[in-house]
Structure 1
Amino acid sequence: MEALVQVTGIAAPMMRINVDTDQIIPALFLGGTDAKGYGKHLFAGWRFLADGSPNPEFILNQEPYTRAQILLADRNFGCGSSRERAPKALREFGFRAIIAPSFGGIFLNNCYRNGIAPVELPIEQVRAIADEVQASGGLGEVTVDLREKRVVSPEGRRFAFDAPETLRQMLLQGVDEIALTLARMPEIGAYREADKTRRPWAYPPIG
């Protein structure tokens, strides 16, 4: 998994509510077992017209948002199914962070496991950031700092956010749950040795 400590870049204000995982990556493009190749189909129903040409009205087809690394969204982003290819498609497209008031629970967890920071801020703060981005013509950069747990707007305003600590550490270090646990083997070993004294009956001889 890719580590992420901080990302600074263009933020696309796609302020839509209840964006579900089928809108993020339509079921039509889920065939096969390959874990790659989904980015080109991200938001396919919105990015492309019926003839397959890019929809000029969709924000991710407009400059400078074609180069966005941060997505600004409205409430309940990533709701619907547990489709892990949704965050995979977002990551392949280039996104490293999504800022929204709330996320679908499974989607939020899948983001952390696919190199994306899902940041929850009150809707008023998300809208304020989106307003600053639009006022700058899209060129005002936004920073998401996962280590400091803060977002910095184009005008320098700072917004604190919270994050599940285990998931945050996984993304900061670029590891999964198993690797994160194994990194604490000295502590686990010390606990076991102390526990053997307290509860010797729980450690019967082997063999």
Structure 2
Amino acid sequence: MRYDLIIFDNDGVLVDSEPISNTVLAGYLSELGHPTSYEESLRDYMGGAVHRIHDVVLERSGQRLPEDFDKTLHARIFAAFEQELRPVAGAEELLGQLVADGTAYCLASSGSHERIRVGHLVAGLDEWFEESWIFSSQDVGRGKPAPDLFLYAAERMGVPAERCVVVEDSPLGVEAARAAGMDVYGFTAMTPADRLPGATGYFSGLAELPGLLA
């Protein structure tokens, strides 16, 4: 293993939440008078913190989203998670292999701590993560594509940035990892490689990852 720490993104990498959350988000924005397709939601918001949604809508329309937008959005997403959320294929096997090999890992997500916890409980991944291994954009001032979250995770885990590798599936996440001075492998299950420029390498299934990082 040529890295001392693997930093996983969560949504779309460990839990198969992106189709669910972007379907909900597109529908809610459209309800509010900001017509958004599923594909546009993926393009504009995948991998970003919720404040990015507010910023983009305000910039494009000059209108602010309702004060209860975040609360309503999360309630709708959590309800959908309860019905539909599953782990990404191979996630449990990969985490089990990392534990068996003694490889250090953590999670750095644009989602809130509540969203991460709910998702892991529903998907059955909660047993693989100590609370102190989970980092959210809530913990830092700026979410992805700023490098703050990945740098914070590395600092808290006690590993220099240059000894970390990030596993990401969004353009914003790849950009953030590069800005943090970390290698980053792009997961292409949902996002084509050409939309993840600057990644150190690419893979389409989690089973491929150990070989890439060895």
Q: Which is higher, the Rg of structure 1 or of structure 2?
A: 1
TM-score, normalized by the shorter chain, greater than 0.5: no
TM-score by length of 2: 0.32
Q: Give the structure with the higher percent helix.
A: 2
